[in-house]
Amino acid sequence: MKVLGANELIADVQSKGLCIGCGACVDLCPYFKNHRGTTVSLFPCTSATGRCFAFCPKIEVDLDELSKAYFGNAYRAKPLGEYRKILIAKAADKTGKGDFQAGGAVTALVISALKSKKARAAILTDSSGLLPVPKVVKTAKGVLSCASSKYSAAPSLSALNRAVREGLDNLAVVATPCQSLSLAQMRLNPTGMDNFRDPTAVIIGLFCTWALDYGRLEAFLKDRLDIKTIKKFDIPPPPAEVFEVYTEGGKLTFPLSEIRGLVPETCSYCTDMTAEFADISVGVLEGRPDMNTLIIRTERGERFFDDAVKKGFLITDEMPAANLEHLKTAAKNKKQRAFVKGSSEGRINCDAEGTRAMMRLGADVLNEIISAGGAE
Ligand SMILES: Cc1cc2nc3c(=O)[nH]c(=O)nc-3n(C[C@H](O)[C@H](O)[C@H](O)COP(=O)(O)OP(=O)(O)OC[C@H]3O[C@@H](n4cnc5c(N)ncnc54)[C@H](O)[C@@H]3O)c2cc1C
Ligand code: SF4
Ligand code: SF4
C-alpha cells in the first residue's frame, strides 16, 4: 500500500463524495473531526504521509495485500469472503437483557470478551436521540445499553483512536464492513510505526447492505414524526422491503423505495456485505428474528467465539441450507453491482501503473466477479 497524507485523503475521498464518515481519520490529530455524521478537516496539514490516509477504507485499498496478510491467499471471488465456519446463534440468558437488534449475539460476544479479560474495553456505537455516538465501554451494563442497530453511518472508529491515545489496547471492536476494512489496514501498521501494537483484540463485523446519511435521515423523519419519541429501527429481511421505526406511540413503516434516497452514494461502490475482514461477522437470519447468522473467519475469531459458547454466553445451532444460499446470493449481488459500477467509472486498479483509485485487486478476479459474481 502506498501511504500518502491528509491532502490526498481530501482529494481522493472527501472531495469525491466517497467518505462514509467511519471515524478512522478522526481524533488521530487535531485536524479531522466528525460533526453530526460528516467528517471535516479543520486546518490544512502538510505531512506527506499520515495514518488518516493509511486507515481510510475508501483510499486505494489493496485487497490482495490485505487478504494475503489475513488469510494467506490473494483476494478471491467468493461472495462471503474467506471463512472457517458459518452457523446461527443467539445470546443466552447469562448475557443479560438488552434491546438487541436480533438474537443479541454481538452483545453476547462482547460481554464474554470483557468478562474473560480477553478484551480490556469495547468500541461500540450508542445513540443520543437519532445521532449515533461512538463509545469506549468497559462494563457489561455499558455493552447492553449500546445494543441495537443505528442505521446511520457512524464515526465509531473515532472512539478507537481516543482509546489508543489513552493507552488502552486489546479492544473488542464492533464495526460495519467499511470500518472492518479500515481496522484490517490498521492491523498491518501501514505507516511503519515503531513500538506498534495491534489495538484490536477482536473485530466483530456487522453485515451491511447500506447505511443512511445522518443528516438526510434526520430531515426525512423530522417531517413525519416527533424524533424524540424514536426507540428503535429495523429493516426486516426480504421480501418485506420496509424500514420500520419503533416510537413511544407504536411502529411506523416506510417503503424502502422512500428510504433509498437517504443512502450516501459511497455505499453504492461498497463491495462487501458481510464484513469480510472481520474476525467474526454477524447479521440477521431471514425468518428468525430471535437469531443471528455468524461467520467465523479467523483463528482469533474462533477463539473468542468458542470461549463465549463454553462460558454460556451464546447458544448456537446449524445454519439452515436455504438461508445460506439466500445470504450468498445477496452478498454476490452486492459485490457484483459495486464492482461493475466501480470498474466502469475507472475506480478500480488492476495494475501498478493505474492512477490512484478506490480499490486494487487482480484483473482475473475482477473479471470473474463482474461476469459471474464469483462462486463458493
Ligand atoms: C448500518 C447497518 C446496516 C446493516 N445492514 C444489515 C444487512 O443488510 N443484513 C443483515 O443481516 N444485517 C445488517 N445489519 C446488522 C444487524 O442489524 C445487526 O447489527 C446484527 O445482526 C447483530 O445483531 P445483534 O442482535 O447481535 O446486535 P446487538 O446485540 O443488538 O448489538 C448491535 C451492535 O451494533 C453496534 N452498532 C449499532 N449501530 C452501529 C453503527 N451504525 N455502526 C457500527 N456499529 C453499530 C452496537 O455497538 C452494538 O454493539 C446492519 C447493521 C447496521 C448498523
Ligand atoms: S477514514 Fe472514514 S471518515 Fe475519514 S475520510 Fe476515510 S471514510 Fe471518511
Ligand atoms: S454499505 Fe459499505 S460503505 Fe456503506 S456503510 Fe455499509 S459497509 Fe460502509
Hey, what's the cell of 42?
479543520
**Strand 250-255 relative to strand 280-284: parallel, antiparallel, unpaired?**
unpaired
Q: Which ligand 2 atom sits closest to the C-alpha of 182?
A: 1
Confidence category of residue 375, pLDDT binned at 50, 70, 90: low
- The answer to whether residues 323 and 286 touch, using CB atoms and an 8 Å cutoff, is yes
For residues 3-18, give the mean pLDDT. 95
Q: What pLDDT was estimated at residue 102?
A: 96
Task: For residues 63-71, give the mean pLDDT.
Answer: 96
**Res. 240 pLDDT band, cuts 50 70 90:** confident
Q: What is the pLDDT of residue 354?
A: 66
CB atoms within 10 A of CB 122: 28
Atom of ligand 1 nearest to the CA of 103: 25
Judge whether residue 352 has pLDDT over 80. Answer: no
Residue among 25, 176, 270, 356 to mutate when testing ligand 2 (max atoms within 8 A of CB):
25
Distance (Å, whole) CA 278 – CA 256? 28
**Distances from the Cα of 51 to the Cα of 46, 189, 220, 319, angstroms:** 13, 9, 35, 39
Over residues 209-238, mean pLDDT:
92
pLDDT digits (tens, 9 = 90+) for 109-160: 999 999 999 999 999 999 998 999 999 999 999 999 999 999 999 999 999 9
Distances (CA, A) of 273 to 63, 203, 243, 321: 15, 15, 18, 19
Q: Are 177 and 270 in contact (CB under 8 A)?
A: yes
Q: The cell 486494487 sits on which residue?
A: 360
Region 38-50: what's the mean pLDDT?
93
pLDDT of residue 239: 82
Which residue's CA is the closest to the ligand 2 atom numbered 3?
A: 21
Q: What is the rounded CA–CA span in Å between residue 176 and residue 209?
A: 10
C-alpha cell at 88: 446461527
Which amino acid, 122?
A
| pLDDT, average across residues 365-372 | 93
Terminal alpha carbon distance of the chain:
28
pLDDT of residue 222: 94
Name the closest ligand to CA 98: 1
Ligand 2 atom at shortest distance from the alpha carbon of 39 = 3
Residue 115: Cβ within 10 Å count: 18
Q: How confident is the model at residue 376 (pLDDT cuts 50, 70, 90)?
A: low
For the cut 90, the answer to whether the pLDDT of residue 276 exceeds it is yes
Q: Which atom of ligand 2 is nearest to the CA of 9?
A: 5
Q: Which residues line ligand 1 (CB under 6 A)?
A: 100-107, 124-125, 132, 146-151, 154, 156, 174-176, 206-209, 211, 282-284, 292
**Measuring from atom 3 of ligand 3, which residue has the nearest CA?**
267
Distance of alpha carbon 226 from alpha carbon 228, whole angstroms: 5
- Residue 373 pLDDT level (bands cut at 50, 70, 90): low
Nearest protein Cα to ligand 2, atom 8: 19
**CA 352 to centroid of chain Cα atoms:** 28
